[in-house]
Structure 1
Amino acid sequence: MEGPSDSAELWRLTLQNSPIGMALVGLDGRVLMANRALADMLGYADDELCARGFQELTHPDDLEGDLELFSRARSGEIDTYRVRKRYRHARGHTVWCDLSVAAVRGPDGETLHFISQIIDVTEQREAAARLEAAHAALEREHHTLEAIFETVNVGLLLIGPDGRYERSNRRHRETMSLPFPDGHAGTAGQLGHVYFPDGRTLMGKEDMPSYRAVQGEEFDDYTYWVGNDPLSRAAFSTSARQVRGPAGERLGSVLAYQEITDLMRAMKVKDEFVSSVSHELRTPLTSVLGYLEILCDNDDLPEEVLDQLRVVQRNAVRLRSLLSDLLHVGQTDEGSLELQRVDLDLVALVHDAVEAARAFADASGVTVVTDLPPDGPALHAVVDELRIRQVLDNLLSNAVKYAAPGSSATVSLRATGDGSDGELELAVADTGRGIAPDEVDHVFTRFFRGGEALGQHIPGTGLGLDIVASIVAGHGGTVTVESELGKGSTFRVRLPRDAG
Structure 2
Amino acid sequence: MDNTILEKALGVAGFAVLVLDDKDRVIDISLPAARLFGVDQRDLIGKPVSDFLPLDPATVGALDQTAIQPPGVVAEITARTKDNRELVVAVNAVRWIGPDGRRLTTLFVRDAALEKQAARRKHSQLVQSDNAIRGARIGVFEYDPATDSVSVSDIWRCMLEILPDEQMDVQQEWRSRVHPDDVQIALEPISLCLEGHTERASCEYRLHSRDRSHWKWMRTDIAVAERSPTGRPSLLVGAQSDITERKATEDALRVSVEQFRSAFYNASIGKAIVEPDGRLRLANPALCDMLGYSESELTSRTFQELTHPDDLDDDLYCLKSLMEGEISSYNLEKRYYRSNGAILWGRLSVGLVRNANGEPDHFIAQVVDITEQRRLDELKNEFVSVVSHELRTPLTSVLGALALLEFDHAQFSDEVQRLLFIAKTNGDRLHNLINDILDFQKFTAREMRFSLVGHPVARLVEDTLMANLALTDMYAIRFSPPPDHRALIGLVDPKRFHQVMANLLSNAAKFADPGSVVATTVEPDGPSIRVSVTNVGPGIPDSFRERVFRPFSQAASLSDRRSGGTGLGLSITKQIVEQMGGEIGFASALKGQTTFWFTVRRGD
TM surpasses 0.5: yes
Q: 2:534 aligned to 419, 429, 433, which one? A: 429
The correspondence of residues 463-482 of structure 1 with structure 2, limited to 5 A, is: 463-471=568-576, 476=580, 478=582, 480-482=584-586
Whether contact under 8 Å (1:225, 1:236) holds in the other structure is yes
Instruction: Give 2:416's aligned residue.
Output: 305
Instruction: Give 2:52's aligned residue.
Output: none
Whether contact under 8 Å (2:574, 2:584) holds in the other structure is no
Task: Report Cα offsets for 1:396-447 as digits up to 9, x if no partner.
Answer: 1111233344543124568999xxxx9987543323455579987875x551
- For residue 449 of structure 1, give the secondary structure of its aligned residue in structure 2: coil
The correspondence of residues 75-474 of structure 1 with structure 2, limited to 5 A, is: 124=241, 127-128=242-243, 131-176=246-291, 186-187=301-302, 190-192=304-306, 194=308, 202-205=310-313, 207-208=315-316, 211-212=319-320, 213-214=322-323, 217-227=327-337, 232-246=342-356, 248-296=358-406, 297-333=408-444, 336-337=447-448, 346=460, 349-362=463-476, 366-371=477-482, 373=484, 385=495, 387-412=496-521, 427-434=532-539, 443=548, 445-447=549-551, 449=553, 453-457=555-559, 459=562, 460-471=565-576
Using a 3 Å threshold, how does the CA distance of structure 1 residues 184 and 439 change in structure 2: closer, same or farther? farther
Aligned partner letter, 1:242: L
1:173 is displaced (CA, Å) by 3.2
Instruction: State the alpha-carbon separation in 2 of the partners of residues 391 and 87 from structure 1.
Output: 74
Whether contact under 8 Å (2:451, 2:492) holds in the other structure is no
Moved more, 155-164 or 430-439: 430-439
Whether contact under 8 Å (2:283, 2:299) holds in the other structure is no
Instruction: State the alpha-carbon separation in 1 of the partners of residues 460 and 157 from structure 2.
Output: 98
Identity of aligned residues (%): 24
Instruction: State the alpha-carbon separation in 2 of the partners of residues 251 and 389 from structure 1.
Output: 47
Using a 3 Å threshold, how does the CA distance of structure 1 residues 390 and 305 change in structure 2: closer, same or farther? same
* Larger RCO, structure (CA 8 Å, separation 6 or more): 1
- For residue 377 of structure 2, give the secondary structure of its aligned residue in structure 1: helix
Can you give the 5+ residue segments of structure 2 that lack an aligned partner in the other structure?
1-139, 184-204, 223-235
Instruction: State the alpha-carbon separation in 2 of the partners of residues 193 and 22 from structure 1.
Output: 67
Whether contact under 8 Å (2:271, 2:287) holds in the other structure is yes
Instruction: State the alpha-carbon separation in 2 of the partners of residues 400 and 22 from structure 1.
Output: 93
1:209 is displaced (CA, Å) by 7.5
Aligned partner letter, 2:559: H
Q: Which has the larger radius of gyration?
A: 2
- For residue 145 of structure 1, give the secondary structure of its aligned residue in structure 2: helix
Instruction: State the alpha-carbon separation in 2 of the partners of residues 230 and 388 from structure 1.
Output: 45
Whether contact under 8 Å (1:437, 1:485) holds in the other structure is no
1:369 is displaced (CA, Å) by 2.7
1:461 is displaced (CA, Å) by 3.8
TM-score, normalising length: structure 2 = 0.52
Aligned partner letter, 2:600: R
Using a 3 Å threshold, how does the CA distance of structure 1 residues 228 and 324 change in structure 2: closer, same or farther? farther
Task: Report Cα offsets for 1:257-297 as digits up to 9, x if no partner.
Answer: 12222222222222222222111111222222222223333
Instruction: State the alpha-carbon separation in 2 of the partners of residues 353 and 271 from structure 1.
Output: 31
Using a 3 Å threshold, how does the CA distance of structure 1 residues 291 and 368 change in structure 2: closer, same or farther? same
Instruction: State the alpha-carbon separation in 1 of the partners of residues 532 and 370 from structure 2.
Output: 37
1:314 is displaced (CA, Å) by 1.4
Instruction: State the alpha-carbon separation in 1 of the partners of residues 492 and 596 from structure 2.
Output: 24
- For residue 478 of structure 1, give the secondary structure of its aligned residue in structure 2: coil
Using a 3 Å threshold, how does the CA distance of structure 1 residues 138 and 57 change in structure 2: closer, same or farther? closer
Whether contact under 8 Å (1:158, 1:253) holds in the other structure is yes
Aligned partner letter, 1:463: L
1:149 is displaced (CA, Å) by 0.7
1:302 is displaced (CA, Å) by 1.5
Whether contact under 8 Å (2:577, 2:598) holds in the other structure is no
Instruction: State the alpha-carbon separation in 2 of the partners of residues 204 and 371 from structure 1.
Output: 43
Can you give the 5+ residue segments of structure 1 that lack an aligned partner in the other structure?
1-18, 67-83, 101-116, 196-201
Aligned partner letter, 1:398: N
Whether contact under 8 Å (1:163, 1:211) holds in the other structure is no
How many residues align? The count is: 412
- For residue 323 of structure 1, give the secondary structure of its aligned residue in structure 2: helix
Using a 3 Å threshold, how does the CA distance of structure 1 residues 269 and 230 change in structure 2: closer, same or farther? farther
User: What's the RMSD between the two structures over aligned residues?
Assistant: 5.7
Task: Report Cα offsets for 1:108-152 as digits up to 9, x if no partner.
Answer: xxxxxxxxx99997xx4xx34555455444433332321211010
1:299 is displaced (CA, Å) by 0.7
Whether contact under 8 Å (2:280, 2:298) holds in the other structure is no
The correspondence of residues 17-96 of structure 1 with structure 2, limited to 5 A, is: none
Instruction: State the alpha-carbon separation in 1 of the partners of residues 208 and 502 from structure 2.
Output: 90
Q: Is structure 2 residue 596 aligned with structure 1 residue 490? A: yes
Using a 3 Å threshold, how does the CA distance of structure 1 residues 238 and 448 change in structure 2: closer, same or farther? farther
Whether contact under 8 Å (1:407, 1:431) holds in the other structure is yes
Instruction: State the alpha-carbon separation in 1 of the partners of residues 306 and 211 from structure 2.
Output: 76
Instruction: State the alpha-carbon separation in 1 of the partners of residues 209 and 431 from structure 2.
Output: 94
Task: Report Cα offsets for 1:359-381 as digits up to 9, x if no partner.
Answer: 3322xxx333323659x99x999
Moved more, 84-93 or 259-268: 84-93
Whether contact under 8 Å (2:280, 2:299) holds in the other structure is no
- For residue 268 of structure 2, give the secondary structure of its aligned residue in structure 1: coil
Aligned partner letter, 1:481: G
1:322 is displaced (CA, Å) by 0.7
- For residue 469 of structure 2, give the secondary structure of its aligned residue in structure 1: helix
Using a 3 Å threshold, how does the CA distance of structure 1 residues 45 and 479 change in structure 2: closer, same or farther? closer
Using a 3 Å threshold, how does the CA distance of structure 1 residues 415 and 302 change in structure 2: closer, same or farther? farther
